[in-house]
């Protein structure tokens, strides 16, 4: 697979520390293909609609950092996708806060096929690990792509299950893709890439993990998927942040019934009480997806084939018709980056 790389100018914009992803997108929409060296800080302020007091304008430094990023990606066979690039996931582009840049090793999820996020606590029970493994294996057997966060616990079990069943699984990291966190999952990440999956992040190579990068990555994890499954999550778990982001985007949220009432399931039990569907196997999700969605989504097909996997894939502009759930009621610390959450449990 040939690596795709974003333009050096866009890679440099991704290195501008004082802009959010949304502001970087607004900047490119305003200035087009203009080189950064031709711009002034005042031009950026007009593009993003606010003053950038204290910001240091140093395009040379950002271009040097972008060159290092490009060299790293070329050396490891990695890729990068700007919001405006054709290879950027369409399902993610329609979310409320899409990332400006994605860095990837391996592949990104195939937009023609459905993806499901399987998430949960880093400190699960044995029942939770078994449930995550089984759900991911069943999803992979159905041809559904599995997305998670490569954290210890439920995330790792979901990735392992998908790989064991011969499926594709993808991880969204809370740090740069130059390293795997935790380090114990380095071998698992390599197996995922070798199996046709990949790891991705919005953070440039070399970015270390922090107390807010993990919750922020959850919006991408949920945004890449048609649905999110919370296997086992105590109150305050980061998996509930993924569920909240999924609900904000009109995506379905499910809860594994195998862990209901367990010692680590207060958060997932609360989701079920708020109306999330409980499931005993991945077949329950397949049946729910097929309900009312019988048109084949493959442009090459155009037929009405309820059994066709393409019919289950997300389509641009799609919003589910089910009544929305109440969002998990939790007080979440605000990050200095953009006001999002900082829970990592």
CA dihedral defined by 95, 97, 103, 107, rounded to 10 degrees? -10
How do strand 252-256 and strand 277-279 relate by DSSP bridges?
Answer: parallel
CA–CA separation, 226 and 249 (whole Å): 10
Would you place residue 316 in the very low, low, confident or very high pLDDT band (cuts 50, 70, 90)?
low
Q: Is the pLDDT of residue 2 over 70?
A: no
Question: Greater confidence, 205 or 331?
Answer: 205
What confidence tier does 294 reach under pLDDT thresholds 50, 70, 90?
Answer: very low
Domain ranges of the chain: 8-88, 115-198+208-290
pLDDT over 90 at 8, yes or no: yes
CB of 297 within 8 A of CB of 163? Answer: no
> Residue 290 has what pLDDT?
83
Residue ranges of alpha helices (H) inside 14-143 are 21-31, 41-48, 59-76, 90-93, 126-141
Give residue 341's pLDDT. Answer: 37
Count CB atoms within 10 A of the CB of residue 71.
11
- DSSP code for 276: P
* pLDDT (mean) for 276-292: 89
Q: Give yes or no for a contact between 316 and 90, defined as CB atoms under 8 angstroms apart.
A: yes
Average pLDDT of the residues in 332-343: 39
Q: What span, in angstroms and rounded, lies between the C-alpha atoms of 221 and 112?
A: 17
Across the range 180-186, mean pLDDT stands at 95
Among 16-20, 133-137, 252-256, 304-308, the least confident range = 304-308
Counting Cα atoms < 13 Å in the Cβ hemisphere of 146 gives 38
pLDDT band of residue 165 (cuts 50, 70, 90) is: very high
Residue 12 reports pLDDT greater than 60: yes
CB 78 within 8 A of CB 104: yes
List the one residue out of 278, 261, 267 whose CA is nearest residue 237: 267
- The mean pLDDT value of the chain amounts to 88
Structure tokens at 110: 């195939």
Q: Mapping DSSP to helix (H, G, I), strand (E, B) and coil, where does residue 253 land?
A: strand
Identify how many contiguous H helices and E strands the chain contains and give both numbers: 12, 9
Q: Given a cut of 70, is residue 203 above it in pLDDT?
A: yes
Res 301: pLDDT: 38
User: What pLDDT digit, counting tens, does each position of 111-139 carry?
Assistant: 999 999 999 999 999 999 999 999 999 99
What is the model's pLDDT at position 311?
53
For residue range 65-89, what is the model confidence (pLDDT) as tens digits? 999 999 999 999 999 999 999 999 9
Q: Which pairing describes strands 227-230 and 145-148: parallel, antiparallel, or unpaired?
A: unpaired
Q: CB-side exposure of 117: number of CA atoms within 13 Å? A: 33
How far apart (Å, rounded) are the C-alpha atoms in residues 184 and 209? 15
Q: What is the mean pLDDT of residues 320-336?
A: 43
Average pLDDT over residues 180-194: 97
**Is the pLDDT confidence value at 18 over 70?**
yes
Q: Tell me: domain 115-198+208-290, CATH 3.40.309.10, correct? A: no
């Amino acid at each position: 697979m040939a690596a795709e790389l974003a333009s050096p100018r866009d890679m440099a914009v991704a290195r501008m520390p004082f802009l959010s992803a949304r502001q970087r997108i607004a900047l490119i929409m305003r200035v087009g293909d203009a080189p950064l060296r031709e711009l002034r800080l005042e031009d950026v302020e007009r593009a993003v609609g606010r003053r950038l007091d204290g910001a240091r304008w140093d395009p040379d430094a950002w271009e040097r950092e972008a060159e290092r990023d490009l060299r790293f990606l070329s050396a490891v066979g990695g890729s990068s996708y700007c919001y405006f690039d054709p290879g950027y996931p369409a399902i993610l582009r329609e979310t409320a806060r899409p990332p400006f840049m994605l860095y990837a090793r391996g592949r990104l999820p195939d937009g023609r096929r459905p993806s499901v996020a399987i998430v949960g606590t880093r400190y699960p029970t044995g029942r939770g690990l078994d449930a995550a493994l089984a759900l991911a294996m069943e999803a992979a057997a159905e041809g559904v792509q599995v997305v998670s966060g490569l954290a210890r616990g439920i995330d790792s079990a979901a990735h392992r299950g998908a790989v064991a069943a011969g499926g594709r699984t993808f991880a969204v990291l809370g740090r740069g893709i130059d390293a795997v966190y935790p380090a114990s999952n380095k071998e698992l990440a390599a197996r995922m890439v070798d199996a046709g999956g990949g790891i991705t992040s919005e953070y440039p190579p070399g970015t270390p993990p922090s107390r807010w990068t993990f919750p922020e990555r959850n919006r991408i994890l949920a945004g890449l998927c048609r649905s999110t499954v919370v296997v086992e999550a105590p109150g305050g778990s980061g998996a509930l942040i993924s569920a909240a982001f999924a609900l904000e985007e009109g995506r379905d949220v499910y809860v594994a019934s195998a862990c209901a009432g367990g010692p680590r399931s207060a958060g997932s039990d609360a989701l079920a009480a708020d109306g999330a569907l409980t499931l005993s196997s991945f077949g329950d999700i397949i049946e729910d997806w097929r309900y009312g969605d019988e048109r084949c989504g493959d442009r090459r097909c155009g037929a009405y084939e309820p059994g066709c996997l393409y019919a289950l894939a997300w389509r641009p502009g799609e919003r589910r018709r089910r009544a929305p759930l109440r969002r998990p009621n939790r007080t979440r610390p605000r990050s200095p980056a953009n006001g999002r959450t900082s829970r990592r449990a």
